[in-house]
Protein backbone atom coordinates (compact mmCIF):
# COMPACT_ATOMS: atom_id res chain seq x y z
CA UNK A 1 0.00 0.00 0.00
CA UNK A 2 1.00 3.60 -0.41
CA UNK A 3 -0.13 6.39 1.87
CA UNK A 4 0.50 10.05 1.01
CA UNK A 5 -0.01 12.67 3.71
CA UNK A 6 0.22 16.45 3.30
CA UNK A 7 2.06 18.10 6.18
CA UNK A 8 2.31 21.70 7.30
CA UNK A 9 6.09 21.74 7.15
CA UNK A 10 8.62 19.49 5.53
CA UNK A 11 11.49 21.86 5.01
CA UNK A 12 14.28 20.92 7.38
CA UNK A 13 16.74 18.09 6.80
CA UNK A 14 17.17 17.46 10.53
CA UNK A 15 13.42 17.00 11.03
CA UNK A 16 13.14 14.97 7.82
CA UNK A 17 15.86 12.53 8.86
CA UNK A 18 14.30 12.13 12.30
CA UNK A 19 10.82 11.63 10.84
CA UNK A 20 12.12 9.15 8.30
CA UNK A 21 13.65 7.04 11.08
CA UNK A 22 10.52 7.28 13.26
CA UNK A 23 8.11 6.17 10.54
CA UNK A 24 10.48 3.53 9.13
CA UNK A 25 10.56 1.96 12.61
CA UNK A 26 6.84 1.14 12.43
CA UNK A 27 6.14 -2.53 11.68
CA UNK A 28 5.15 -2.95 8.06
CA UNK A 29 6.76 0.23 6.70
CA UNK A 30 9.31 -0.45 3.97
CA UNK A 31 9.83 2.98 2.37
CA UNK A 32 9.44 6.62 3.39
CA UNK A 33 9.87 9.62 1.10
CA UNK A 34 9.59 13.21 2.28
CA UNK A 35 8.99 15.75 -0.49
CA UNK A 36 9.96 19.22 0.76
CA UNK A 37 8.62 20.90 -2.37
CA UNK A 38 5.12 19.44 -2.09
CA UNK A 39 5.14 19.14 1.73
CA UNK A 40 4.15 15.50 1.36
CA UNK A 41 5.21 12.36 3.14
CA UNK A 42 4.80 9.17 1.12
CA UNK A 43 4.88 5.87 2.98
CA UNK A 44 4.96 2.45 1.31
CA UNK A 45 3.76 -0.20 3.73
CA UNK A 46 1.94 -3.44 4.33
CA UNK A 47 -1.40 -3.71 6.12
CA UNK A 48 0.50 -4.32 9.39
CA UNK A 49 0.48 -0.56 9.97
CA UNK A 50 -2.66 1.58 9.82
CA UNK A 51 -3.20 5.06 8.43
CA UNK A 52 -4.00 6.17 11.99
CA UNK A 53 -0.65 4.87 13.32
CA UNK A 54 1.25 6.74 10.61
CA UNK A 55 -0.78 9.90 11.25
CA UNK A 56 -0.08 9.66 15.00
CA UNK A 57 3.66 9.18 14.38
CA UNK A 58 3.70 12.33 12.24
CA UNK A 59 2.07 14.29 15.06
CA UNK A 60 4.46 12.82 17.66
CA UNK A 61 7.38 13.90 15.47
CA UNK A 62 6.20 17.52 15.42
CA UNK A 63 4.55 17.56 12.00
CA UNK A 64 1.02 18.81 11.46
CA UNK A 65 -0.81 16.45 9.08
CA UNK A 66 -3.15 18.41 6.81
CA UNK A 67 -4.78 15.48 5.10
CA UNK A 68 -3.92 12.34 3.30
CA UNK A 69 -4.99 9.50 1.16
CA UNK A 70 -4.42 5.80 1.31
CA UNK A 71 -4.07 4.04 -2.02
CA UNK A 72 -4.29 0.26 -1.92
CA UNK A 73 -3.89 -0.14 -5.66
CA UNK A 74 -2.88 2.45 -8.20
CA UNK A 75 -3.97 2.05 -11.80
CA UNK A 76 -1.23 4.00 -13.55
CA UNK A 77 -2.94 3.65 -16.93
CA UNK A 78 -5.64 6.10 -15.85
CA UNK A 79 -3.32 8.83 -14.60
CA UNK A 80 -3.43 12.10 -16.52
CA UNK A 81 -0.23 14.11 -16.68
CA UNK A 82 -0.19 17.90 -16.79
CA UNK A 83 0.37 19.22 -20.32
CA UNK A 84 3.85 20.53 -19.53
CA UNK A 85 4.94 16.98 -18.62
CA UNK A 86 3.64 15.28 -21.74
CA UNK A 87 6.16 14.31 -24.40
CA UNK A 88 5.03 14.03 -28.01
* Model pLDDT, residue 76: 41
CA distances from 87 to 76, 78, 80 (A): 17, 17, 13
Structure pTM?
A: 0.68
Per residue in 20-73, pLDDT (tens digit) is: 888 999 999 999 998 888 888 899 999 899 888 988 888 888 888 886 655 444
Domain positions in the chain are 2-73
Angstrom distance (rounded) from CA 56 to CA 23: 10
From the options 3.30.70.100, 4.10.320.10, 3.60.110.10, 3.30.300.30, give the CATH code of 2-73: 3.30.70.100
Amino acid sequence: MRTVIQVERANCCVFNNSLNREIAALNGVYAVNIDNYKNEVTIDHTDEVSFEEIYAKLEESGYTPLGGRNREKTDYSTLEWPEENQHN
